[in-house]
Amino acid sequence: MSGRGVNKVILVGRLGNDPEGRVSQSGSAMTNLSLATTRSWKDQQGERQEKTEWHSVVLFGRIAEVAQEYLRKGSQVYIEGRLQMRKWQDKSGYDRYTTEVIGNTMQMIGGKGDEYRQGSYSSHAQASEVGTETPQTDHSNLPRLEDDSDSWPF
């Protein structure tokens, strides 16, 4: 590498609520997702432990429109993107900082009862490519997730 850094995030998780869509200042579609990822392990006593992390994901353009149309609370989704820190001011005028994942690839992962078809969507795809069922990236080496929906936090 030529001294440039790498800023890549890959998440597979479930939505904690329905996507929140709006229009950005530039006029393009924008969608916010709250994505939960849970890891589990056995502690020194052999007891199963879990920790759920919540991630703020922001999508733009056609990928944001697809997320608004097809994703719902509890939907499982694969997201690729980059981390970005954003500074904003609260109502009292204090500076606040938020770390977000800016998603550029999304794959809906269907399961029992999911009402959408599986598909891969990229913010770089042409309009005619969006909605194809051919993945943009080979995800065959991803670990299979257990369907333990009784332990989900939502």
Residue 36 C-beta-side C-alpha neighbours within 13 Å: 17
Q: pLDDT band at 120, cuts 50/70/90?
A: low
For 15-63, write each residue's pLDDT tens digit: 999 999 999 888 899 999 999 999 999 999 999 999 999 999 999 999 9
Of 131 and 25, more confident? 25
Measured at the CA of 152, the angle between CA 146 and CA 154, to 5 degrees, comes to 145
Identify the helix (H) or strand (E) that includes residue 67: helix 62-70
Distance of CA 131 to the CA centre of its chain: 17
- Domains of the chain (ranges; CATH) run 9-41+48-135 (2.40.50.140)
CA dist., res. 142 & res. 98, Å (int) = 28
For 61-98, write each residue's pLDDT tens digit: 999 999 999 999 999 999 999 999 999 899 999 999 99
